[in-house]
């Protein structure tokens, strides 16, 4: 049960990419919250969450993402999820979050 | 004749991952396919979250996860002796206006075939869920 994150700012495209690896659950969700707050306060730009290596997410993880989405929207920024695996995509669809967080192109 | 497996889990976030592993193993033993195993794992983990975040006070106590499996179905009961809450006034989340909390029960109901929640304020909560094979 681990969560590893790597944040890279893309100067050319002017956004953050946050790669998330492992599992986001009730134990690790706070780490994602802290990392998103950290990078957004360092540079107030859009964030792309790359879930290519994310194997699991639960409602506490989704809650953290909803919170970040709301805070960023207030500042006029976007939060987007890319490369979600089927099981993660299923939860995003059930909760309706796919409609606001998933985009085919950015 | 149904088989019964009973686990007692410390009410701490770091042990929910252990429950997930156990759930996957039991569901696999019961004969579910990969997608159904994933659904059951997520639903049980959400009920564990519920026990930890809204039931048990300050991680003080254990909660129980009981599996009952037979040829046709797997039933899982997550039982805490925590604070309990008012199930009558439970409101489903407004998906057009997402909020940080309140998604757990909604997800459980979406993934399992039958879900029953019994909660008494001050006495605890039991979430019982069933998936048919």
Q: Which residue of B13, B54, B92, B127 to mutate against A (max A Cβ within 10 Å)?
A: B13
Whether the Cβ atoms of residue B53 and residue B31 lie closer than 8 Å to each other: no
A21-79 pLDDT, tens digit each:
999 999 999 999 999 999 999 999 999 999 999 999 999 999 999 999 999 999 999 99
Chain B residues whose beta carbon lies within 8 Å of the beta carbon of residue A69: 98
Query: What pLDDT does B83 receive?
Result: 82
Q: Which residue has the higher pLDDT, B100 or B35?
A: B35
- Nearest-CA distance A70 → chain B (Å): 9
Which tokens belong to A4?
């590893």
Is residue A84 over pLDDT 70? yes
Please tell me the distance from the alpha carbon of residue A62 to that of residue B102, in angstroms, as a whole number: 11
| Domains held by chain B: number | 1
B17–chain A Cβ distance below 8 A for any pair: yes
Is residue B87 over pLDDT 90? no
Is residue A106 over pLDDT 60? no
The domain in which residue B8 lies consists of 3-132
Q: ipTM value, please give it.
A: 0.91
User: How would CATH label the architecture of A3-101?
Assistant: 2-Layer Sandwich (3.30)
Whether the Cβ atoms of residue A57 and residue A64 lie closer than 8 Å to each other: no
Number of H helices, E strands in chain A: 4, 4
Query: What pLDDT does B88 receive?
Result: 67
Please tell me the distance from the alpha carbon of residue A48 to that of residue A31, in angstroms, as a whole number: 17
pTM for this entry: 0.92
The CA-based diameter of chain B, rounded to the nearest angstrom, is 46
Contacts across the A-B interface (CB distance below 8 Å): 64
Give me the CATH number covering residue B114.
3.30.565.10
Where are the strands (E) in B44-96, listed by range? 62-69, 73-80
Is residue B100 over pLDDT 60? yes
């Amino acid at each position: 049960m681990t969560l590893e994150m790597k944040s890279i700012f893309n100067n050319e495209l002017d956004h953050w990419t946050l790669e998330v690896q492992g599992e986001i659950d009730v134990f690790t969700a706070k780490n994602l919250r802290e990392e998103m707050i950290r990078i957004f306060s360092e540079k107030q730009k859009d964030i792309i969450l790359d879930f290519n290596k994310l194997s699991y997410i639960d409602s506490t993880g989704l809650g953290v993402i909803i919170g970040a989405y709301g805070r960023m929207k207030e500042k006029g920024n976007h939060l987007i999820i890319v490369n979600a695996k089927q099981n993660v995509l299923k939860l995003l669809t059930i909760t309706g979050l796919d409609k606001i967080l998933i985009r085919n192109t950015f | 004749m149904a088989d019964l497996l009973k686990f007692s889990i410390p009410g701490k976030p770091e042990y929910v991952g252990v429950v997930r592993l156990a759930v996957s193993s039991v569901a696999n033993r019961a004969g579910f396919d990969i997608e159904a195993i994933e659904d059951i794992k997520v639903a049980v983990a959400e009920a564990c979250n519920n026990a930890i975040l809204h039931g048990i006070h300050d991680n003080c106590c254990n909660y129980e996860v009981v599996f009952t499996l037979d040829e046709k179905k797997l039933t899982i009961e997550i039982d805490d002796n925590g604070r309990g809450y008012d199930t009558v006034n439970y409101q489903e989340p407004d998906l057009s206006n997402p909020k940080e909390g309140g998604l757990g029960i909604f997800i459980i109901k979406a993934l399992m075939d039958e879900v029953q929640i019994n909660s008494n304020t001050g006495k605890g909560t039991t979430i019982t869920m069933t998936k048919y094979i």
